[in-house]
Structure 1
Amino acid sequence: MNQICKVLIVDDEILVRQGIKYVLDCEQEGFQIVGEAANGREALNSLLTLQPHIIITDIVMPVMDGEELTRLVKRDYPDTEVIVLSSFSEFHYVRSTFQHGVADYILKPKLEAGALLQVLKKTRERIPGLSGGGPQAETAAQPLDTLLGRMLAGYRLPPESEADVKRQLPHNCFALLGWETLQPVPGGEALNRSSVNAAMTNNATSLGGNNAATSSNARTAYDAASATVTTAITGELDRSVPGRVQCVIPGTEPPGTAFMLVNLEEAHWPELLEAVHRLADTLTGQEVELRLTLSRSFSSLSELAAIRQESYARLQQHRFFRPDQVLLVQVERPEWETPPPKFNLTTFTEQLKRQQLEEAFGDLHQHVDALSRQNDGDVYQFKSFLGNIIFNITNQFSHLPELEEGKYSLFRAIDEAGTAEQAMQILDHYLTRIMELTSSATSAPGGNANMAKLLQYIEEHYAEPLTLTELARHFHFNPSYLSSLFTTHNREGFKEHLNTVRTGKAAELLRAGEAPIAEISSMVGYGDHSYFCKVFKKYTGLSPSGYRRQHYGQE
């Protein structure tokens, strides 16, 4: 038998890649799709592993285009053939790719299964040892994961292939287990702040897309994490769900997501639920964060594509609103948060006109916080609300040109936010920046109702283990906004003000002369006595014992 001709697809459009993979019966003709990439850099990084005979590549792509990819491939892998795929009909645009030795060129508008197959066959004839490959090739019988991949993409199988799938999946119940590996965002808080500052100065490039190295490293990490997850899932199901059949479905987009079809007897569904929960507990706290989703059970593979769409949508919503929750099971409905009342945009606009920014932004933050806690929240609606708010605020302050110039970059930053928390932080820094620009707020500590409530709460609860996060949760504010609000309207930051209150109360107790110094530290909220002494001396210039001696000496 002839050797299989391996093909790599490179295109930044998912639909094009999926179409080439599943419209063609490549295996029947002696071809095998061994991988895909969204740009030239990803393709180059996979060549050593995949070793394709033919690369089908688009011309116009981010990070690295098809022209540069072709040049580097023909330089470093001269035996690899390249077929150029492009939406541009001008021959001069792709002339340089032919100069580098490209095998053929096809226009996307004229791309048809038959035409592409002819080009592939013609190109295969150029490769020593592959000429004459055809339907008799080794992969004529397509593996289960390939067939399921077609079904997942929404394509119907021919009757003989469908019968083959049914033979390999004999049970009456199916479930789709999906997972997504998350890479931590470098910079965190600083990244969001710099994004807003960049937008305010109309520097869209600083909002940060992935460069080639980042994209490549992320894909490598995703692949490694996916292999680890697959092994862990297989091991857990082997121990817990007897008689089931499972298959990881390849080629899932975007990178970092994967799906496993589990075929089992309906009577074993409880065991599957328990196994998935144990799996989530096991995988919690891994270096590469993981999010799992288990679909509802279904009885027919004809539902596979719809279940996949449903599961992926829930997975993305899950990740956005509940980034710390590892597992989402669709049949386990969480407790519903009480829906917040509709935001009163008229009142909000009137407050902006009257320069009542603290009250307006405080009400806004409480509403956004309530929206972010809705278990049935819609990501698109949440981001649209934030975008509309920024648009309305910018219109109210149209006399500030930097707001108008930067608003579209802010819209993009909100749109690219991976979680509700990230989107809220972008909004927080934007509102803080507006307060700085307008200089409309008074600097007096009690200059607004919100600040007065905060100071009063600290005065009443200073002896408790207060933190900025706890205070924000109590008042339904975002911690970063609360920190900015505190420093804007108080001469001290939160931590400094809390220390001032505590050391003042401690001084009163020291002057009273009744309680031992060791007890006074805990009475004013310090769990560590040595730390209390250090803070007290910093704020008063004396140690607690020295302060008490001085007081008695003055009497």
Structure 2
Amino acid sequence: MANLHTVLIVDDEATIRDGLKHMIRWEQEGFRLLGDAANGEEALHQIQTLQPDIVITDLKMPQMDGIQLTTVIQQQYPEVHFLVLSSYDDFQYVSQAFKNGALDYLLKPTLTPASLLQTLGKIAKKISHSQGSISEETQLQEALNRYLAGYEESLQPIDAYLNPTLTPADYQLLYTNLRHFQSNQQLFHALNEFAQSEPKLRTLPFRTSNNDAGLLICGPQHLDIGTSLKQCLLQLTYTEPDAFFTLGNAFHKIDQLRTSYLQLKEKSRGQYFFYKRQRLVFEHELFPYLTSERFDTKKFLRALLDNNFLLGIARIEEFFNEMIISNVEPGVLKQQAGSIFYTLLSRLEEEFPNEAAFSQIKHQFLREVATVRYLEDFSDLLLKTIEAIREQLTPLSPLDEDDLLVSIQRFIHDNYMKSLSLSELADTFHFSYTYLSAFLSSKLTMSFSDYLKNIRLEKAKELLVKSDLNLSEISQAIGYSDISYFSRIFKKEFQMTPSKYRRMNQL
């Protein structure tokens, strides 16, 4: 019995599974039938538990088909051999299965006990020939792949291999994702070179079915491997320009491996976006993602509906200037940019139907923002697009002085609580400081500073009467950080202190 080759059958048709079970005398022919599964997902669970030598699988199945199943088997269970069941019209599937490592195929319409037995016999010979040739390191790599993919696996053999003397050691994970690479071969060659260059370290490479890859590293405690690792990975970037790695924090016990791996994987998600010129980043350097600020869609749409397109663009710039320095998740950042610019450019297309440039800008921006890889390029794309919009918009929609005044007044009312200055206002509306100062003085019959002061003090009066905020909180809420200064200008304007005003006007 010990020499029997074990077999698992996978097919979504119960009649096919039953037919195969009774087609040959399995044990008399040197095989043991372990069981059967109706789809790839069921099969994977049984492969992990039963560890068959051979899998006979159909190609077309629900949930997980045979191609997906053979892909996972090749990556996580390379010691498992498989053959595929096909119909006459399954050539494309069979071709892909052979690329995934299938040893043979059986045509369902012409399947006979003799052809099944002959094919199984060929696979059995290959198994017998290869058994014993798999190195200990390869077996441990496969066990590590399965463990990181979520399967239960003993870590004792891995620990014994990495730390045979059982001395105090540091474990670290070097993590990457294969979608950053054009050739997996280059990646694992570089990892092998690093392992050979550090005699004090023992390593095991890994690669999961989710395209996570990297190196489990074990070495003396507090050994600094960052410098030599950076040098090794620098060579890789000549052939893999998008290569990006994160090096996890050290941990001291092998049973912390899964937690460390999952934390590093989550922290590393999308981080390459912030590091255009850095190929290796340590875990403590990774940016924690912050919640995105909500874009004030109401004010933005109001500007567009009022045809105040320059104000709408100013709101976009203000929003993304804040987002770019706020460590927002790249996917969220790009999605928001796509949505906001789509709205702006669609409104411009509607307002200026004879101007084809806005449609061209829109389609180009949506195409580029979806594929932009780095924050630096994302920022450049926003600036380039805004400049192109302004260039097209300026001769079409000159802002008359009344519209400009309304837009500026609205902006001041929306931002009076901030440290607002005339210089910031000039930058926002793209005018010189001197021009804007003269323009506001003539239109408002007062200076910008007096206009801002009046808005703030009127708001202060409202808060004094209608809120329970103390004087310090009211001062902060209207844009004054110094409560004594606030009290002085309030008294000068209304001939009484804020406290007296509150007492006189509260019911």
If the length of structure 2 is used for normalisation, what is the TM-score?
0.51
- Gap change, CA 1:150 and 1:452, over 3 Å in 2: closer
Q: Aligned partners of 1:153, 1:25: CA distance in 2, in Å? A: 11
Amino acid at match of 2:257: L
Q: Deviations over 1:270-295 (max 9, x none)?
A: x2234334445555555533212101
Alignment match, 1:291: 244
1:353 counterpart (287, 302, 305) = 305
Q: CA deviation at 1:319?
A: 0.9
1:265 aligns with 2:220: yes
1:249 aligns with 2:210: no
Q: Helix, strand or coil for the counterpart of 1:247?
A: strand
1:178 counterpart (175, 178, 185) = 175
Alignment match, 2:52: 29
CA contact (8 A) 2:55 2:82 kept: no
Q: Deviations over 1:409-435 (max 9, x none)?
A: 987875555444565667667767876
1:163 counterpart (156, 161, 167) = 156
Q: Aligned partners of 2:366, 2:226: CA distance in 1, in Å? A: 40
Alignment match, 2:82: 54
Moved more, 142-151 or 355-364: 355-364
Alignment match, 1:222: 183
Alignment match, 1:237: 198
Map 1:88-99 onto structure 2 (within 5 A): 98=108
Q: Aligned partners of 1:32, 1:172: CA distance in 2, in Å? A: 40
Q: Helix, strand or coil for the counterpart of 1:355?
A: coil
CA contact (8 A) 1:22 1:155 kept: no
CA contact (8 A) 2:248 2:283 kept: yes
CA contact (8 A) 1:175 1:294 kept: yes
Q: Aligned partners of 1:57, 1:432: CA distance in 2, in Å? A: 59
Alignment match, 2:120: 126
Amino acid at match of 1:164: P
- Gap change, CA 1:300 and 1:439, over 3 Å in 2: same
Moved more, 393-402 or 414-423: 393-402
- Gap change, CA 1:162 and 1:434, over 3 Å in 2: same
CA contact (8 A) 2:372 2:378 kept: yes
Amino acid at match of 1:245: R
Amino acid at match of 1:356: N
Q: Aligned partners of 1:226, 1:344: CA distance in 2, in Å? A: 45
Identity of aligned residues (%): 13
1:152 aligns with 2:148: yes
Map 1:102-121 onto structure 2 (within 5 A): none
Q: Aligned partners of 2:314, 2:364: CA distance in 1, in Å? A: 24
Q: Aligned partners of 2:208, 2:131: CA distance in 1, in Å? A: 22
Amino acid at match of 1:70: V
Alignment match, 1:533: none
If the length of structure 1 is used for normalisation, what is the TM-score?
0.47
CA contact (8 A) 1:315 1:328 kept: no
Q: Aligned partners of 1:226, 1:276: CA distance in 2, in Å? A: 13
Q: CA deviation at 1:133?
A: 6.3
Q: Aligned partners of 1:411, 1:319: CA distance in 2, in Å? A: 21
Amino acid at match of 2:329: D
1:70 aligns with 2:94: yes
Alignment match, 2:319: 367
Structure 1 gap ranges (5+):
10-15, 60-64, 84-96, 105-121, 184-217, 457-555
Q: CA deviation at 1:343?
A: 4.2
Q: Aligned partners of 1:419, 1:154: CA distance in 2, in Å? A: 31
Q: CA deviation at 1:17?
A: 7.9
- Gap change, CA 1:365 and 1:38, over 3 Å in 2: farther
1:381 aligns with 2:332: yes
Map 1:518-529 onto structure 2 (within 5 A): none
Alignment match, 1:12: none
Q: Deviations over 1:365-390 (max 9, x none)?
A: 3532442344x432343234224424
Q: Deviations over 1:114-138 (max 9, x none)?
A: xxxxxxxx7895352527969x954
Q: Helix, strand or coil for the counterpart of 2:216?
A: strand
Q: Aligned partners of 2:204, 2:389: CA distance in 1, in Å? A: 53
- Gap change, CA 1:285 and 1:166, over 3 Å in 2: closer
Alignment match, 2:414: none
Map 1:265-344 onto structure 2 (within 5 A): 265-268=220-223, 271-280=224-233, 283=236, 288-332=241-285, 343-344=295-296
- Gap change, CA 1:276 and 1:79, over 3 Å in 2: closer
Q: Aligned partners of 2:235, 2:102: CA distance in 1, in Å? A: 46
Amino acid at match of 1:263: C
CA contact (8 A) 1:320 1:418 kept: yes
The Cα RMSD (Å) is 6.0
Amino acid at match of 2:207: P
- Gap change, CA 1:123 and 1:373, over 3 Å in 2: farther
- Gap change, CA 1:454 and 1:264, over 3 Å in 2: farther
Q: Aligned partners of 1:58, 1:314: CA distance in 2, in Å? A: 43
Q: CA deviation at 1:364?
A: 1.6
CA contact (8 A) 1:175 1:296 kept: yes
Map 1:6-45 onto structure 2 (within 5 A): 24-25=47-48, 28-31=51-54
- Gap change, CA 1:423 and 1:68, over 3 Å in 2: farther
Q: Helix, strand or coil for the counterpart of 2:120?
A: coil
Q: CA deviation at 1:320?
A: 1.8
Which is bigger in relative contact order (C-alpha 8 A, separation at least 6)?
A: 1
Amino acid at match of 2:309: L
Q: Deviations over 1:404-457 (max 9, x none)?
A: 9x999987875555444565667667767876887874589xx9966995999x
Q: CA deviation at 1:29?
A: 3.2
Alignment match, 2:104: 81
Structure 2 gap ranges (5+):
11-38, 57-64, 405-425, 434-507
Amino acid at match of 1:145: Q
Q: Helix, strand or coil for the counterpart of 2:271?
A: helix
Q: CA deviation at 1:399?
A: 4.1
